[in-house]
């Protein structure tokens, strides 16, 4: 999880970039913060998907086999 101050700084730099030109140093910082944010987002989203079970209206488990295999490897599913 990205700390609150980093998210605030990311938002500040993004707004500054839209409003005016930012320095090369700030642009590098912005890119680093975006990269860190996306890494955390992807990790969190992946975990959420890995813990998902898909059930159709009849109550049958229709989770894709690829996801079931990942869940078995991580001991989420038997």
Cα distance between residue 75 and residue 55, in whole Å: 20
Residue of 46, 34, 43, 42 whose CA lies nearest to 71: 46
Is 90 exceeded by the pLDDT of residue 1?
no
- Per-residue model confidence as pLDDT tens digits over 30-45: 999 999 999 999 999 9
Under 8 Å between Cβ of 6 and 36:
yes
This prediction has a pTM of 0.73
Cα 18 to Cα 6, 13, 30, 35, 44: the distances in Å are: 18, 9, 12, 18, 28
Confidence of residue 76 (pLDDT cuts 50, 70, 90): confident
Is 90 exceeded by the pLDDT of residue 2?
no
Under 8 Å between Cβ of 34 and 10:
yes
Confidence of residue 78 (pLDDT cuts 50, 70, 90): confident
- Domains observed in the chain: 4-73 (1.10.287.540)
């Amino acid at each position: 999880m990205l700390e609150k101050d980093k998210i605030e700084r990311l938002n500040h730099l993004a707004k500054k970039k839209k409003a005016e030109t930012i320095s090369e140093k700030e642009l590098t910082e912005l890119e680093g913060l975006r990269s860190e944010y996306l890494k955390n987002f992807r990790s969190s989203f992946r975990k959420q998907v890995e813990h998902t079970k898909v059930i159709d209206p009849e109550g049958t488990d229709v989770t894709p086999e690829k996801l079931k295999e990942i869940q078995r490897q991580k001991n989420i599913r038997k």
